[in-house]
Amino acid sequence: MSPPGWTPRVNADLLLAWMSETGSGSVRDLRQRIAWAARAADYSPKQHETGRWLRDISTLGHAEVDWDLGRWAATPSSAAVLPASGGTAVLAGSRRVGLAERLEELVSVNAMSPPVSDDAPLAMPTALFVQADSLAELRTSLEAAGVRYAGCSARSIAKKLQPIQPGASAAPPARTDAVEQLLPGSARPKFAHGLPKGDGLCRISVHGRPSYLYRWNGAWHHTDHATGILLDRANRGVDVIRFRAERTTAHGRVGVLFVDQGTPLPPLQARSLVLCSGLPTQFGNSAATAIYRNVPEDIALLVADSIHQKLHVIT
Amino acid sequence: MSDRGEFGLPLDYLEWQQRFASEFFAGREAQPVVMFVDRDDLSRLSEPGEDPLRSLSSAVRQVVRTDGRSSMFPDIRLAESMWRSGDRSQPPPTLPVLAMSVLAASEMRRDAKGARHNYYIRLAAALLPDGSEAEVDSVRHTLREQGEFRHVAEMWRQIHQWLEDSDGAFGRSTIPESPDRSRIGYPLSQALIRRSDRAALTRFFDRLYLDHDGTPSPEALLELLKVWTRHRSRGFSDRFVEVLDEPEVQGYLCPLIHDLAVAWDGKVVTAEGLRRLELRLTLDLERGRAWWVIPSTPGMPGDIVSGTVGATSFTALLTPDRYNSMFSTEGLPAVTPESLSAGISARGEHCVAQFRPTQFFAMTDSPDAGGWTSVEAIQAYEEHVLIAAPEVRKTVEKAIKRAADPGWRRLGDRVTESMLGRGYSVYHSVVFSDPEALGQAMDTLPARLASDVHLGVTARPRFVLGLPLHRNLSPNTYMTGGEPDLELPVGAEARDVEVTLDRDRSQVFRATIFPIQFSRFGPYSFGDHTISADGEELTFVVKESSGGAYDPPGMGELSWQDGRLVPAGEAPAVCGAWTDEVEDPPVVLARRGSLESWLVDGSGRTTPLAEPQPPTHLAEFPSMYFEVRKDSGAWLLQKRTADWQAVELQPTEPAFGGLTPTDRSVWSEAVDSVTSDNAQWLSYVAAWMDASRER
């Protein structure tokens, strides 16, 4: 699925194994080691690319990342059953040395190298898919290998999604702050200097890092990058999410979900969607969209609801 | 003649004895004792208005005969003998004599007249500061030609023995037991490291990561110190840097520096013994703000420091912050062009905080400082902000163009001026990842500017990066494939270092800030491996994993609850792919590729079931099963090439009726083929038998 002649720009399996053997640590330290592993593969990554790699690792459920506190922690090994995929489950979380070999003795294990894109050039760990003759047998075998059976995580996470909303009340930006506003008209979210005239999203710098404030009904609130942009899009009635059905299954239609690039999804929304296929978010370079595959329509609806979007179905 | 005191010694002499006892031994328990004295030290130990040298020499001459008689030291030897027969709970009464001998050694380079080898003339001159040339030469002759100095050497042996016998209560002796070349080796050994050098050594030790990596061998330590000080004084005296290359003193210097390194308490101090703190410039590029921060050091209490910037005085309060690596500060001056060009020094009861002015600053992002903070040296691959003073702006920009990765930018003049004043240039997003380009750029820098550009922070070879295991338990264990990089100390001039792996594979590397990636030279067998460089041998251990019995700390400590990421301890709702409400899909798996598939309800009626399309995202793998909802009937019957399979969907009591010919055909074939002792299936078989008999 990767371009011909492409070589991995990082040994992602080694990094995930190391994260699993290490347990937890600081984000800064981990990003240095991601960059180190990339250099060992003769690629000098840009600063944002190591952050992107870690966000994708978190979206796949391998680790949780607290960006505010600068901490990461691997998650215990689990297997998420993919919806409408004949009982296939994807392995998530800790992947300590020897785990794959133990599983191979108990269930059928298939490996796939996730594709890379220009936006995310650092390879993701090999996706490991497990299958058994029945879900009951799968569950028993997983537990024997020390892997928690998580059922259909995509759907159970989607059901837990909280509707996005502005955060705690905040003071307006100070006069001395260099304020940027999210431009209301542009198709792709873009910031420019100045305060918004009405409600809208602002970006300021706190201790040299971007911080986001959202003005809603005239009152200022704290928010984060993803939530702020999605609130802005929703309030302006801008559709950012589209669904195209590919097939019909026992549980209804299953297809591809497209999300406009530049409107990042909050972590759990993104995780719910990538656990439909077990593969990281893909990006369409021409259409500038994030692509999630094998998404049942009911999960797409739950995600859309949580970000105050109507699910626009395309044919 | 003065009054007499203990051991019949003059009170003037005993006053100096007391001063030196306090200077050398107070608070030195278990620490290496260096009995260094020079004229500055004498001034510090003297009373205001007192002529230090004349006061000391006068006191010493009361117990040392300088009148040309052959025996110079009988009086002080007698006093020492009396001390020896006592409890020896205090230092021997020879300290002023010994200090005088060190003073002479420290002066051997002060003028051309005192040739390096003519130690005795310096000692004679120190004893007779107002003596005629003939008188001085007479004493020199007695000391050297008549061998009277042997008694001073014996006093050195005695104090060494006393320190040894006192078991560290007064400190540990750094006096050589038997000097290599001559008796003057005793005072010479003590004259090599002055207070300011000793203070500068603490900074060197800090860069050796002694806590983590241990102390290098005495010889390796000296070599590393030479690299550290090459063309950069680093706060050491000229004489100290000079003697590093003098073979005749290295026998004394090596063990002395090693002793100091072993005994170092982890504190970087000034010559006065105050903690040395760094004032660092910090910038917020977004807001256009500049301020000072001071990194805290372990064990350093708060302090009130005072200093001046130009004509303006300031007093600042420094308070340790347990949640931040920087002191919380109040009262530090604003950043001004004057403070940048002239530097700042602020002194308190416990510390001295300094900002050394340079034409060039490198900065890295510091979350604790809240912005970009000045650092000592440029590091490979790290993102930097660089600042150039007006006079070097063009040269620096040219060097950045040549050496930095694409993507760097110069900050607008308006923002720069609001932070630093007119003329400075700020470059951001500067990353160096090309060793050759950086080397070429450094070669083109003017000497003065080059001396302000420091590359790399380590003072010894050390391991960095890689994928370490058991970091809190074992300093140098790495995962296979994640072997460490080797970082070499970088001097002010290019140097090549021979690096040997496992004592049998050698290669010469240019020492740069770019670490050597040893993982590229693998694969490595599990177990110990060594790397030798700069006289040091480092060991790393390669393991496959941290071990099955080891629970990686913090695993699962972050999870989601009510849409918020929360730490361990709270009941998690989502952690990775796992949730607290496992949703088992209400489906059964049916094999693909059947000849026929039928759903059967409780009445025995059948409905054909078409296989759904396989998932497209897993097209690389065989799709063996498809899902059938459990609520779609009681049984799934599948006709395969050889036989029929019956898969239970959901428990339903059979109540057959209204069967069509197709239903009967399916049941007839399935019942004959399926072999199962499932009770539900058997009840359906019985129902079918009844239904078929009723026909």
pLDDT digits (tens, 9 = 90+) for A204-218: 866 556 789 999 888
The verdict on a CB contact (< 8 Å) between A14 and B618 is: no
The verdict on a CB contact (< 8 Å) between A250 and B629 is: yes
What is the predicted pLDDT for the residue at B181?
Answer: 61
Residues of B in contact with A159 (CB under 8 A): 581, 583
Which residue matches tokens 């500055």?
Answer: B40
Q: What is the ipTM of this complex?
A: 0.93
What is the predicted pLDDT for the residue at A285?
Answer: 65
Nearest CB among B285, B482, B628 relative to A250 is that of: B628
Q: Which residue has the higher pLDDT, B568 or B66?
A: B66
As beta bridge partners, residue B430 has B384
pLDDT beyond 90 at B495: no
Is residue B572 within 8 A of residue A72, CB to CB? The reply is: no
Residues of A in contact with B581 (CB under 8 A): 156, 159-160
Residue of chain B with shortest Cα separation from A177? B287
The verdict on a CB contact (< 8 Å) between B576 and A63 is: yes
3-state percent helix, strand, coil for chain B, nearest multiple of 5: 35, 25, 45
Identify from A11, A60, A64, A133 which residue to disrupt to test chain B contact, counting B C-beta atoms within 10 A and taking the largest count.
A64
For the sheet containing A200-206, what is the strand order? A191-193, A180-182, A200-206, A209-216, A219-223
Is residue A92 within 8 A of residue A80, CB to CB? The reply is: yes
The verdict on a CB contact (< 8 Å) between A94 and B552 is: yes
Residues of B in contact with A151 (CB under 8 A): 579, 582-585
Residue of chain B with shortest Cα separation from A254? B615
Strand, coil or helix: B320: coil
Burial category of B342 from C-beta neighbours within 10 Å (exposed 0-12, middle 13-18, buried 19 and up):
middle
What is the predicted pLDDT for the residue at A58?
Answer: 97
For the sheet containing B606-608, what is the strand order? B606-608, B596-600, B635-639, B644-648
The verdict on a CB contact (< 8 Å) between B585 and A277 is: no
**Residue type at position A69:** L
The verdict on a CB contact (< 8 Å) between A64 and B575 is: yes
Nearest CB among B372, B517, B583 relative to A39 is that of: B517
For chain A, what is the mean pLDDT?
Answer: 89
Share of chain B above pLDDT 70, in %: 97
The verdict on a CB contact (< 8 Å) between B554 and A24 is: yes
Per-residue pLDDT of B443-464, as tens digits, reads 778 777 777 777 877 888 989 9
Q: Phi then psi for B588, rounded to 5 degrees? A: -120, 160
The verdict on a CB contact (< 8 Å) between B620 and A112 is: yes
pLDDT beyond 90 at A34: yes
Give the whole-angstrom CA distance, residue B280 versus residue B364. Answer: 11
Task: Specify the length of chain A in residues.
Answer: 315
The verdict on a CB contact (< 8 Å) between B372 and A208 is: yes
Place B644 in a pLDDT band, splitting at 50, 70 and 90.
Answer: very high
Cis-peptide, bond into residue B572, ω within 30° of zero: no
Name which of B293, B316, B427 is nearest B373 in CA terms.
Answer: B293
Residue of chain A with shortest Cα separation from B369? A207
What is the predicted pLDDT for the residue at B695?
Answer: 59
Mean pLDDT throughout B658-662?
Answer: 92
Query: Count of CB contacts below 8 A, A vs B?
Result: 253
Residue of chain B with shortest Cα separation from A1? B620
Residues of B in contact with A28 (CB under 8 A): 367
The verdict on a CB contact (< 8 Å) between A76 and B556 is: yes
Place B664 in a pLDDT band, splitting at 50, 70 and 90.
Answer: very high
Name which of A90, A54, A92, A89 is nearest A75 in CA terms.
Answer: A92
A196 CA: distance to closest CA in chain B (Å): 19
The verdict on a CB contact (< 8 Å) between B546 and A176 is: no
3-state percent helix, strand, coil for chain A, nearest multiple of 5: 30, 30, 40
Mean pLDDT throughout B591-601?
Answer: 93
Place B110 in a pLDDT band, splitting at 50, 70 and 90.
Answer: very low
Burial category of B85 from C-beta neighbours within 10 Å (exposed 0-12, middle 13-18, buried 19 and up):
exposed
Residues of A in contact with B626 (CB under 8 A): 86, 249
Strand A241-249 versus strand A312-314 pairing type: parallel
The verdict on a CB contact (< 8 Å) between A82 and B467 is: no
Mean pLDDT throughout A156-181?
Answer: 86
Give the whole-angstrom CA distance, residue B481 versus residue B544. Answer: 9
Strand, coil or helix: B242: helix
A218 CA: distance to closest CA in chain B (Å): 25
Name which of A152, A311, A176, A196 is nearest A245 in CA terms.
Answer: A311
Distances (CA, A) of B674 to B83, B285, B643, B684, B688: 110, 77, 7, 12, 13
Per-residue pLDDT of B159-189, as tens digits, reads 999 999 998 899 989 888 877 667 888 998 8
What's CA B498's distance to the chain center, in Å?
A: 23
Residue of chain B with shortest Cα separation from A58? B576
No. of helices (H) and no. of strands (E), chain B = 21, 33
A99 CA: distance to closest CA in chain B (Å): 11
Name which of A185, A203, A181, A189 is nearest A288 in CA terms.
Answer: A189
pLDDT beyond 50 at A1: no
Is residue B125 within 8 A of residue B59, CB to CB? The reply is: no
Residues of B in contact with A295 (CB under 8 A): none
Query: In sequence order, what are the residues at sequence separation of 6 or more whose Cβ sits closer than 8 angstroms to the Cβ of residue B543?
Result: B469, B477, B478, B479, B480, B526
pLDDT beyond 80 at B119: yes
The verdict on a CB contact (< 8 Å) between A205 and B284 is: yes
Nearest CB among A23, A61, A176 relative to B554 is that of: A23
Is residue B73 within 8 A of residue B101, CB to CB? The reply is: no
Name which of A124, A86, A89 is nearest A103 in CA terms.
Answer: A89
Q: Phi then psi for A158, rounded to 5 degrees? A: -60, -35
